[in-house]
Amino acid sequence: MAKVIEGLYYSESHEFVRVEGDFGFIGITDYAQNALGNVVYVDMPDVDDEVTAGEEFGAVESVKAASDLFSPVSGTVVEVNEALDDQPELINQDAFENWIIKVELSDKAELDNLMDAQAYAAFCEK
């Protein structure tokens, strides 16, 4: 069973959001990194780019496949995890610690459309 962390928000496309104040840290879940296998490259947007809930913002490439990343929330990118440029495998080591982008949330109500840990765990078991 993949690790699921309480207090985060989860999307059906296996991204998570950790909310701190007006900011959301977005990454892929443990379930997603497990399914992908060894991550070799992370394609990230630029700082100041806008992301929109449900729309693509980048991609993760592994030795097995490439997978598009879909933003669970809307906002402005304020930071990208530059460590992933040189060490994309950090996502395999701890997907939840190694977020991909940090966004300033433009509409916190969008969080209501995402799953909590319990719902996401049940979703992954299907």
pLDDT in tens, the chain (126 residues): 689 999 999 999 999 999 999 999 999 999 999 999 999 999 999 999 999 999 999 999 999 889 999 999 999 999 999 999 999 999 999 999 999 999 999 999 999 999 999 999 999 998
For the chain, helix (H) and strand (E) counts, in that order, are 4, 9
Of 56, 63, 124, 57, which is closest to residue 89 (Cα–Cα)? 63
Of 106, 125, 102, 77, which is closest to residue 27 (Cα–Cα)? 102
Q: Are 106 and 51 in contact (CB under 8 A)?
A: no
